[in-house]
Amino acid sequence: MIRFDHVHKRFPDGTVAVEDFSLEVPSHQVAVLLGSSGCGKTTLMRMVNRMVDPTSGSVWIDDDNVADLDPVALRRRIGYVMQSAGLLPHRTVADNVATVPVLEGSPRRAARRRALELLELVGLDPGIADRYPSQLSGGQRQRVGVARALAADPNILLMDEPFGAVDPVVRRDLQRELQRIQADLGKTILFVTHDVDEAFLLGSNVLVLRKGAEVAQSGEPSQIMAHPADDFVAEFIGGPRRRLHTETRDGVQAVIDAEGRVTGFVDQGAG
């Protein structure tokens, strides 16, 4: 369980990244912070592993206030995946995945065995274990990043736009892979993205944020889509693109959005 209790963040230069934010993410659930860049979502996420300390308020993991925990030890028990993967370019894939176990004193051989298992778990060929990050594709690097985050078997995963820098086809693969892994492992995941479709696909709870990390609306994806709280939310999640109706065209049921564009067809065989 992750809990934000009235956190506020003002940076030394005076910018207020987070006004007043509270949230509880129940264990084994995926909460998505959805918002445009600069809304404070990444700052919020980085408070969980103390990469950022709140100016006031507190962040709790189960019954521990993170401010009372040693940052280095805390970070080792929380998986972290970032947009650029952030792998160590001078270490092999296997060494990158084994980073935390080795820091924690696990013998090299055991750490490597675990790394190879994790590569398979995230859908990579263990044959790439001895390559360097610069020899991988963007999608492969992100998978390695996910494997590294899972290496110490953390209860919590923080994912900061992890699939933001790969092309749409690879992104869909990675999203599906994450869903599969999550179904198996049941981590508590805090996921940050500006991609509405990604948020609705992955999140059991989605928070739409505006500037200063103010919650415009939170809830299940279907609730937000069906009943956007205000114009900001409606516009952010797609506006007219999400208001659909059907018409019969050329003898089939076409799905049309509020601006009159055909976005798809009703599958006659289904339902």
Chain residues in the site for another protein (CB under 8 A): 46, 49, 51, 72-73, 75-76, 80, 82, 84-92, 99-100, 103, 132-135, 148
- CB 69, min distance to another protein, A: 12
**Closest distance to another protein from the beta carbon of 113 (Å):** 20
**Which residue's CB is nearer to another protein, number 74 or number 196?**
74
CA distances from 196 to 2, 17, 189, 237 (A): 23, 21, 17, 6
Q: Smallest distance from the beta carbon of 36 to another protein, in angstroms? A: 21
Q: Do 156 and 78 contact (CB within 8 A), yes or no?
A: yes
Beta bridge partners of 4: 23, 59
The neighbour count for residue 184, using CB atoms within 10 Å, is 9
Reported as type and span, the H/E element at residue 105 is none
Q: How far is the CB of 90 from another protein (least distance, A)?
A: 4
Kindly tell me which of 157 and 207 has the beta carbon lying closer to another protein: 157
Q: Residue 56 or 135: which CB sits closer to another protein? A: 135
Tell me whether residue 18 or residue 157 sits nearer to another protein (CB atom): 157
Q: What are phi and psi of 200, to 5 degrees?
A: -70, -30
For the bound state, the minimum distance from the C-beta of residue 165 to another protein, rounded and expressed in Å, comes to 11
**Between 148 and 187, CB nearer to another protein:** 148
CA distances in angstroms from 161 to 136, 156, 220, listed in the order given = 19, 16, 20
